[in-house]
A = this chain, B = another copy of it.
Amino acid sequence: MTDEQRKRAVVLLSGGLDSATTLAAARSQGIECHTLALDYGQRHNAELQAAARISAALGASSHKVISIDLRAIGGSALTDDIEVPETRSEGIPVTYVPARNTVLLAIALGFAETLEAGRIYIGVNAVDYSGYPDCRPAFIAAFQDLARVAIARSSRHDAVEILTPLIHLTKAEIIQMGTGLDVDYRLTVSCYQADAQGRACGRCDSCEIRREGFLAAGLPDPTRYA
C-alpha cells in the first residue's frame, strides 16, 4: 500500500451525530475522505439528506449513496411498519436492523478496494449506545480479521484498516470532540422518526441519548425538535 492509499478513506456516514464526528476526526488528521451513505429503506429519509450536507460541510472528496432494500429481509422497526418505541427498552431494541453494520462494512470494503483506500471509518460506539451487538469492539475486531482475507488487495500485513475513533467515548465526550472540530450539529439527524424537515421527535431512544449527551457535555443542544 502506498502512503497515498494509506491516507485515503471510506467514511460511513449515516447523517447522525456520531458519524459526522467521525468524519471530522478523520479530516482533522488530513485524511482524504470518501463518504458513503446507505439507503436501506429506512423511514427517516431526512438522515440521507443530512449525510449529504455533512459530507460537503466537512470537506469530503466525494459522497455516494448505495441503495439496498433491507425491508425485504424485515425484522426492524426502522424499516418495517412497527411502531418506534418511545421509552428506553431492555436488551436489544426493536429498532435494531439485522446485521446492519456487517452489511455497511461489507459495502465499504468493496468501495475501499475500488478506490484503493487504506482505511474505513465507522462511528460505532460501545458506551452510550442502544445495545446493538454490531457496535461492540469484538465485532469490529472480527470484521478487521475478515478484511485481511476478503478482498483481492488483502494480505495479512497490508489490509484495509477499520477505524472507530468513538468506540470508547461517552456521548458527552463525542460531542465535546466534535465541537472542538467545528462540527455543526444542527446539520445532523439522530432521531429514529425525524420528520421530512429533519426535525427530531424528542422522545425516542436516540433522541434521549443525544439530549443527555449535550447536557452532560455542558453544551447547548442545537437539535431542531418538531
Interface set of A (CB-CB < 8 Å, partner B): 64-70, 72-75, 92, 96-103, 105-107, 109-111, 113-114, 132-134, 136, 138-139, 142-143, 145-146, 148-152, 154
Contact = CB atoms under 8 A, between A and B. Distances in A.
Contact of A110 (B102, B109, B143, B148): B102
Nearest to A80: B114
A103 B98 contact: no
14 contacts: A66-B70, A73-B107, A73-B110, A74-B114, A92-B152, A98-B110, A98-B111, A98-B114, A102-B109, A102-B150, A103-B110, A132-B152, A133-B150, A142-B146
A142 B73 CA distance: 23
A111 B138 CA distance: 21
Contact of A72 (B64, B99, B154): B64
A103 B36 CA distance: 15
A134 B151 contact: yes
Given A66-B68, A68-B66, A68-B68, A99 B150 contact: yes
Nearest to A96: B152
Contact of A113 (B65, B67, B75): B75
B151 A133 contact: yes
Contacts of A148: 142
